[in-house]
Amino acid sequence: MMNLSSRIRPSLLKAVAPACARAMSADAKLVDLSINEKTGIATLTMNRPPVNSLNLELLQGLSKALQELEDNRKCRGMILTSSSPTVFSAGLDIMEMYKPKPDRVKAFWSTLQEVWLQLFGSSYPTVAAINGHSPAGGCLLSLSCEYRVMVGPQYTIGLNETKLGIVAPKWFMSSMLAAIPYRQTELALTTGRMFSTEEALKIGLIDEVATDKADAIAKAEKFLGLFAKIHPVARKLTKLNLRNDALDWLQQNRELDLNIFLSFVNQPIVQSSLEKYLEALKNKQGK
Amino acid sequence: MMNLSSRIRPSLLKAVAPACARAMSADAKLVDLSINEKTGIATLTMNRPPVNSLNLELLQGLSKALQELEDNRKCRGMILTSSSPTVFSAGLDIMEMYKPKPDRVKAFWSTLQEVWLQLFGSSYPTVAAINGHSPAGGCLLSLSCEYRVMVGPQYTIGLNETKLGIVAPKWFMSSMLAAIPYRQTELALTTGRMFSTEEALKIGLIDEVATDKADAIAKAEKFLGLFAKIHPVARKLTKLNLRNDALDWLQQNRELDLNIFLSFVNQPIVQSSLEKYLEALKNKQGK
Amino acid sequence: MMNLSSRIRPSLLKAVAPACARAMSADAKLVDLSINEKTGIATLTMNRPPVNSLNLELLQGLSKALQELEDNRKCRGMILTSSSPTVFSAGLDIMEMYKPKPDRVKAFWSTLQEVWLQLFGSSYPTVAAINGHSPAGGCLLSLSCEYRVMVGPQYTIGLNETKLGIVAPKWFMSSMLAAIPYRQTELALTTGRMFSTEEALKIGLIDEVATDKADAIAKAEKFLGLFAKIHPVARKLTKLNLRNDALDWLQQNRELDLNIFLSFVNQPIVQSSLEKYLEALKNKQGK
């Protein structure tokens, strides 16, 4: 489902491609996907100004790009980053949850599930080059990668859902548990804590700190270089064996997980909270 | 089951309550439960001198108090501590296991299960202010809380069951795994190791060291303050999602777990060991 | 199954035994098993020069020795080590996989499964005294023990299967997860990393570094001394409760796991890789 890339055949793309570092999805404006033909390393850039709020279209763009990479035999790794100078991703777009249309909000959550399944379970290695703030859904995307390099010290990262009155779904938790131990996960999630880069490094929520985006990309490429001499299929099966329980849970429970989200969003108290929040935001911007 | 607090209606208590820090269960002598009406923080004090050995009545008192807090909408957190100057709790009362009467020993273990389910799965945040030694069952109670502050450096803590010839049940293990990694849990449990406060802090078995009980309480309150702006329901569901597997196991296996305990206790070799132990204790006290 | 020791009765062995440190399996040349009658500590030495490649016969020798210890009530612990001056074990013998005979290759993998079940689930405490390089299957054996002392700084250890184009089976992963956290396990396995003793100590892959084999054995004995006053049955049940999920998986899936291995080995591409590897090895040795 949600496989939006089936219309684009990688072989066709390859046929018309210039040398290296070309755009694979020039038509998709919300994400930019380029691949270095020499190294096989792809760069997937979220490009929905100002803060990469994850709406349906951005998620569809990500899903399409991830599928293209899955189908591209030359892909030896992917770096996920942002075109914003200060934000990796602000998380789920609140407008998708406010007075939602049934079909759209279902597609929204289903596509988020799909993106997670594709990213957390990708056959190729993945790194988040976190070049800005990364709360909630932004943190989820970075935790779904295999490695995290974050620009510091000025940015923050965390699954702060409880601070927003939201419960992080089980697969959000699984993603954090893939990075840090249970004890730290429980403390981070129940307190909704946002970590500075230094704190995130200490706890293991990120793997390296970078001085700027270029440095983050360079460090991400160095990590991906570790797999240069590793057999891709052995690597993929090893990763999937380790991540199988978490992936399997969502694959078996997509409908349940969707219904939990829908019943949450459709509560009157949640809708009135969102309304107040949006009004406050409007007033703030009006000043 | 074991819900002993159903006779006391929180609304009634609220109606007759004076200002703050009043006793909610004045009739229960083995535990003291007070709640600060301003902050919503409850203090639950074990009060069975000299060492808070966990017998049926103390466990019933704890279970009743935990249920009262669950039913009290004003409760924003709970601190578990001891009235003893040197012991948090010495663990299960050996007299409950020596020549046990069938009905009483069943109630004893069932109530211990109930206390654990209530404490490990409480909707409100919990902290153990460990103001003295905390072996075996005492350690279990503290591990079932979400945070541990321990007075040091003179006290010790650990699940030392194997040193006593006992096997810690699966839910004891789950409680330790919620605090420290698998590797450290296996070493701690198989060697039956008691940790000094310093060692416990280093390994993550406790979160902070305090100079005395007042300091421990102050640090516990500071931790609970982290949740002041967190939505209680989102927090509760997040905690339960994380702890669900462990809670669910005991809920599904209470009968099995009870039978394992009963068949252990009723072994002739266990009874003769207890007899020798109690005689040695009597002789020691007689000197 | 694979119980090769049933012909040797421990009681008989005891009857003919001299003082201490006698050989229990003088007939088995590929492994040497001696037990200190005073301390109850057994030393199991792999002795298949030059590098203790794990072939069917060495695995059968290990399985037989482990069963003897399981049946020996005096055994209070076991130290696994190597007679080679520089290699603990080089891992699975590649000759067992090249042009394999159906019956033998099945027995080979089944015996490896059996050795792991016996070692990871032994009732007595186990230590690996790793006195040399310990890649792949060698690392697996050491990870299946409860404690690891490694001679350093010159040797390396790790599950480097992905570097060889192989996928470590689920129980290899479980063994590593029993020593180090999930995050470090995923990085180690996907990159196929070999760790120096210093790196291994830092990450928790080993517990102590020793200067030489004698020092490693002394440190192993000191660890086993921690259990001198622990009730063996309580210890055993505690260990098995903790390791039960991992053991249970393989016990329930031996056939599936065997078939995965067989279908891997019988791939033409794997056979041609092995052929090239063996030719390269021959040319190297011929120089």
Interface list for C 149-188 with B (CB within 8 A)? 177-181
Q: What whole-number distance in Å separates Cα of residue C136 and Cα of residue C158?
A: 6
- Phi and psi at C33, nearest 5°, equal -120, 120
Mutate to test the interface with B, among A161, A162, A189 (most CBs of B within 10 A): A162
Query: Among candidates A23, A40, A22, which has minimal Cα distance to A79?
Result: A40
Contacts with B277 from chain C: Cβ below 8 Å:
none
Contacts with B229 from chain A: Cβ below 8 Å:
163
Q: Cβ–Cβ of A230/C192 closer than 8 Å?
A: yes
Q: Is B74 on the interface with C (CB under 8 A)?
A: no
Tokens 């202010």 -> residue: B129
Contacts with A253 from chain B: Cβ below 8 Å:
none
- Phi and psi at A254, nearest 5°, equal -60, -45
Cβ–Cβ pairs < 8 A, chains A and C: 54
> B64: buried, middle or exposed (CB in 10 Å: 19+, 13-18, 0-12)?
buried
Q: Cβ–Cβ of C227/B167 closer than 8 Å?
A: no
Q: What whole-number distance in Å separates Cα of residue C156 and Cα of residue C126?
A: 21
pLDDT score recorded for residue C173: 98
Q: Is B229 on the interface with A (CB under 8 A)?
A: yes
Going from the C-alpha of B169 to that of each of B258, B264, C216, the distances in angstroms are 10, 12, 34
**Domains of chain C with CATH codes:** 21-286 (3.90.226.10)
pLDDT score recorded for residue A286: 67
Residues 6+ apart with CB under 8 A from A206: A130, A142, A148, A149, A150, A157, A197, A200
Q: What whole-number distance in Å separates Cα of residue C26 and Cα of residue C24?
A: 6
In the beta sheet, which residues pair with residue A196? A156
Query: What is the per-residue pLDDT across A125-164, written as a single tens digit (0 to 9) for each?
Result: 999 999 999 999 999 999 999 999 999 999 999 999 999 8
How far away is chain A from the Cα of B99, in angstroms, using its nearest Cα? 40
pLDDT score recorded for residue C287: 59
Query: Picking from A28-32, A153-157, A197-201, B27-31, which range would have the lowest pLDDT averaged per residue?
Result: B27-31
Going from the C-alpha of B1 to that of each of B6, B252, C262, the distances in angstroms are 11, 14, 53
C134-135, strands of its sheet edge to edge: C134-135, C156-158, C195-196
pLDDT score recorded for residue B284: 80
In the beta sheet, which residues pair with residue C127? C79, C147
Q: Cβ–Cβ of B239/A173 closer than 8 Å?
A: no
Q: What whole-number distance in Å separates Cα of residue B205 and Cα of residue A228?
A: 40
Residues 6+ apart with CB under 8 A from A170: A249, A250, A253, A257, B241
How far away is chain C from the Cα of A236, in angstroms, using its nearest Cα? 8
Q: What whole-number distance in Å separates Cα of residue C52 and Cα of residue C137?
A: 10
**With 50 as the cut, is the pLDDT of residue A5 above it?**
no
Residue type (1 letter), C257: D
* Catalytic residue, candidates C44, C69, C92, C140: C92
pLDDT score recorded for residue C10: 32
Please state, rounded to an integer, the average pLDDT across all residues of chain A.
90
Tokens 């489902």 -> residue: A1
Q: Cβ–Cβ of A190/B237 closer than 8 Å?
A: no
How far away is chain B from the Cα of C217, in angstroms, using its nearest Cα? 19
Find the CB nearest C238 among B181, B182, B189.
B189
How far away is chain B from the Cα of A165, in angstroms, using its nearest Cα? 5
How far away is chain C from the Cα of B165, in angstroms, using its nearest Cα? 5
Q: Which residues of A are catalytic?
A: 92, 137, 160-161
Query: What is the per-residue pLDDT across C262-279, written as a single tens digit (0 to 9) for each?
Result: 999 999 988 998 899 889
Q: What whole-number distance in Å separates Cα of residue A199 and Cα of residue C5?
A: 55
Please, what is the end-to-end C-alpha distance for chain B in angstroms?
44
Q: What whole-number distance in Å separates Cα of residue C215 and Cα of residue C197?
A: 15
With beta carbons less than 8 A apart as the criterion, state whether C55 and C94 touch.
Answer: no
Q: Cβ–Cβ of B162/C229 closer than 8 Å?
A: no
Ranges A55-59, A273-277, C270-274, most confident? A55-59
* Catalytic residue, candidates C96, C114, C146, C161: C161
Contacts with C267 from chain A: Cβ below 8 Å:
none
Query: Among candidates A274, A244, A270, A280, which has minimal Cα distance to A120?
Result: A244
Q: What whole-number distance in Å separates Cα of residue B51 and Cα of residue B155?
A: 13
With beta carbons less than 8 A apart as the criterion, state whether A35 and A41 touch.
Answer: yes
pLDDT score recorded for residue B177: 98
- Residue C7 DSSP label: T
Residues 6+ apart with CB under 8 A from A270: A97, A165, A264
* Catalytic residue, candidates C91, C137, C152, C192: C137
Cα–chain center distance at A181: 21
- The token duo for B247 is 């809670």
Is B226 designated active site? no
Tally Cβ neighbours within 10 Å of residue A129.
Answer: 29
Mutate to test the interface with C, among B172, B174, B176, B186 (most CBs of C within 10 A): B186
Mutate to test the interface with A, among B173, B206, B229, B238 (most CBs of A within 10 A): B238
A162-173 as b/e: b if 16+ CB within 10 A: bbbbbbbbbbbb
Residues 6+ apart with CB under 8 A from B209: B149, B150, B151, B152, B153, B197, B198, B201
Q: Cβ–Cβ of A191/B237 closer than 8 Å?
A: no
Query: Among candidates C171, C123, C108, which has minimal Cα distance to C143?
Result: C171
Q: What whole-number distance in Å separates Cα of residue B144 and Cα of residue B153?
A: 22
- Residue A162 DSSP label: G
**With 50 as the cut, is the pLDDT of residue A6 above it?**
no
With beta carbons less than 8 A apart as the criterion, state whether C166 and A230 touch.
Answer: no
| ipTM for the assembly | 0.88
Tally Cβ neighbours within 10 Å of residue A67.
Answer: 18
Contacts with B180 from chain A: Cβ below 8 Å:
183
DSSP codes, chain B: ---TTTTS-HHHHHHH--SSSEES-TT-SSEEEEE-TTT-EEEEEE--TTTTEE-HHHHHHHHHHHHHHHH-TT--EEEEEESSSSBS--EE-GGGTSS--HHHHHHHHHHHHHHHHHHHT-SS-EEEEE-SBEEHHHHHHHHTSSEEEEE-SS-EEE--GGGGT-PPPHHHHHHHHTTS-HHHHHHHHHHTPPEEHHHHHHHTSSSEEESSHHHHHHHHHHHHHTTTTS-HHHHHHHHHHHHHHHHHHHHHSHHHHHHHHHHHHT-HHHHHHHHHHHHHHHHHHH-
Residues 6+ apart with CB under 8 A from C260: C169
Find the CB nearest C238 among B167, B182, B183.
B167
Helix, strand or coil for residue C246? helix
Residue type (1 letter), B192: G
pLDDT above 90 as % of chain A = 84
- The token duo for B8 is 């006391």
Is B161 designated active site? yes
> B123: buried, middle or exposed (CB in 10 Å: 19+, 13-18, 0-12)?
middle
pLDDT score recorded for residue B287: 59
Q: Cβ–Cβ of B125/A192 closer than 8 Å?
A: no
In B, minimum Cα distance to A185 occurs at: B242
How far away is chain B from the Cα of C269, in angstroms, using its nearest Cα? 38
- Prediction pTM value: 0.89
pLDDT below 50 — which residues of chain B? 1-28
- The token duo for A147 is 């490695």
In B, minimum Cα distance to C228 occurs at: B191
Q: Is C242 on the interface with B (CB under 8 A)?
A: yes
- Say how many CA atoms lie within 13 Å of B188 toward its Cβ: 27
pLDDT score recorded for residue A260: 96
Each of the 287 residues of chain C gets a pLDDT tens digit; together they read: 222 222 222 332 232 233 333 444 434 489 999 999 999 999 999 999 999 999 999 999 999 999 999 999 999 999 999 999 999 999 999 999 999 999 999 999 999 999 999 999 999 999 999 999 999 999 999 999 999 999 999 999 999 999 988 999 999 999 999 999 999 999 999 999 999 999 999 999 999 999 999 999 999 999 999 999 999 999 999 999 999 999 999 999 999 999 999 999 999 988 998 899 889 888 887 65
DSSP codes, C103-120: HHHHHHHHHHHHHHHHHH
Q: Are strands A208-210 and A147-151 parallel, antiparallel or unpaired?
A: parallel
Q: Is A222 on the interface with C (CB under 8 A)?
A: no
Tokens 């011929």 -> residue: C286
